[in-house]
């Protein structure tokens, strides 16, 4: 487009050229700008708009064979990145330096880039809301969270692991092992026909029995596809979203939010099959101590 033109007006003009009286247009509300809306309303008198985001998320929640292949490919890049991060992380290095090594390895493997701001987090930054790797030096005797994203042909995948440097609090290491167990329970529960609430309930029971019920989130995973966090299905408390064959979701999203102790995380991209659930991010989940 030329400087005096814009895609919002071009879109409005295209709809106007169809000659439809009082057109109805469905929006995915999370990604439509005010400029788009204003151009459409000005150019198309009588326009009726509605939100179709929920239906769009449902339609794309069940993946085709090709989509699964793309997400699987992106998942393989994450394994390369995590190996590089494991090699790089050590006391005295910056979060961004570790991430640089991981991202370089994924790019070399074929990743088109992450669809979110990736995380390498020292312990004091792990319970922030939506943190990302920054200019922070990693110290000894602490866990380091490494949350990576990759994509292929427009499809995303994600994976998170925690590395323990030196001597860490016993409870912190125990929390990571608990989350590994919680992830296993979630994956065993993820079958076609169950609801996301049923999956969450089984995970929450384990967390509750270990005394962390008030330090856990209401959501433990999201769909994965052209976005890293699709809003259907959401694995969460009291949510009726039905799990279906060939859905792809991330498990396990949260940590245990206990001040000064919590923070470790584990996340994998998984595929729901007819009889079971498989990990597309095929990378060892065992705790790593350096």
Residues 6 or more apart whose CB falls under 8 angstroms from that of 214 comprise none
Task: Summarize pLDDT for 119-150 with one digit per residue, the tens.
Answer: 999 999 999 989 999 999 999 999 999 999 99
Rounded Cα distance, 54 and 240, in Å: 14
**Which domains, from first to last, does the chain contain?**
17-51 (no CATH), 59-289 (3.90.230.10)
Residue 168's pLDDT band, with cuts at 50, 70 and 90, is very high
pLDDT (0 to 100) of residue 2: 57
pTM for this model (two decimals): 0.93
- Does pLDDT of 3 surpass 70? no
**Structure tokens given for 162:** 């925690």
> Is omega for the bond preceding 252 within 30 degrees of 0, making it cis?
yes
Q: Which of 10-14, 69-73, 80-84, 91-95 has the lowest mean pLDDT?
A: 10-14
C-beta of residue 162 within 8 angstroms of C-beta of residue 286 = no
Rounded Cα distance, 120 and 134, in Å: 8
Rounded Cα distance, 34 and 80, in Å: 40
Rounded Cα distance, 13 and 271, in Å: 42
Mean pLDDT of 191-213: 98
Residues 6 or more apart whose CB falls under 8 angstroms from that of 240 comprise 195, 196, 197
**Structure tokens given for 78:** 């994450």
Mean pLDDT of 167-184: 98
């Amino acid at each position: 487009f030329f400087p005096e033109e814009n895609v919002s007006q071009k879109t409005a003009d295209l709809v106007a050229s169809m000659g439809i009286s009082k057109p109805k247009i469905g929006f995915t509300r999370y990604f439509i700008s005010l400029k788009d809306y204003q151009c459409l309303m000005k150019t198309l008198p009588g326009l009726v708009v509605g939100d179709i985001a929920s239906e769009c998320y449902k339609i794309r929640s069940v993946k085709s064979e090709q989509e699964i292949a793309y997400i699987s490919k992106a998942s393989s890049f994450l394994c390369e990145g995590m190996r590089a991060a494991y090699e790089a992380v050590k006391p005295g290095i910056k979060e961004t330096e570790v991430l640089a090594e991981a991202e370089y390895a994924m790019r070399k493997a074929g990743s088109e880039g992450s669809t979110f701001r990736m995380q390498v987090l020292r312990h004091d930054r792990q319970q922030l809301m939506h943190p990302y790797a920054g200019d922070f030096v990693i110290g000894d005797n602490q866990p380091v969270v490494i949350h990576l994203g990759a994509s292929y042909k427009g499809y995303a995948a994600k994976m998170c692991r925690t590395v323990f440097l030196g001597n860490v609090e016993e409870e912190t290491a125990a929390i990571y092992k608990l989350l590994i167990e919680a992830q296993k329970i979630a994956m065993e529960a993820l079958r076609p026909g169950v609801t996301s609430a049923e999956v969450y309930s089984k995970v929450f029971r384990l967390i509750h029995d270990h005394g962390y019920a008030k330090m856990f989130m209401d959501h433990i995973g999201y769909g994965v596809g052209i976005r890293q966090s699709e809003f259907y299905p959401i694995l969460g408390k009291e949510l009726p979203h039905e799990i279906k064959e060939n859905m792809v979701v991330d498990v396990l999203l949260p940590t245990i939010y206990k001040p000064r102790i919590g923070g470790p995380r584990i996340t994998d991209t998984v595929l729901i099959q007819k009889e079971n659930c498989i990990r597309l991010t095929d990378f060892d989940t065992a705790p790593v101590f350096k």
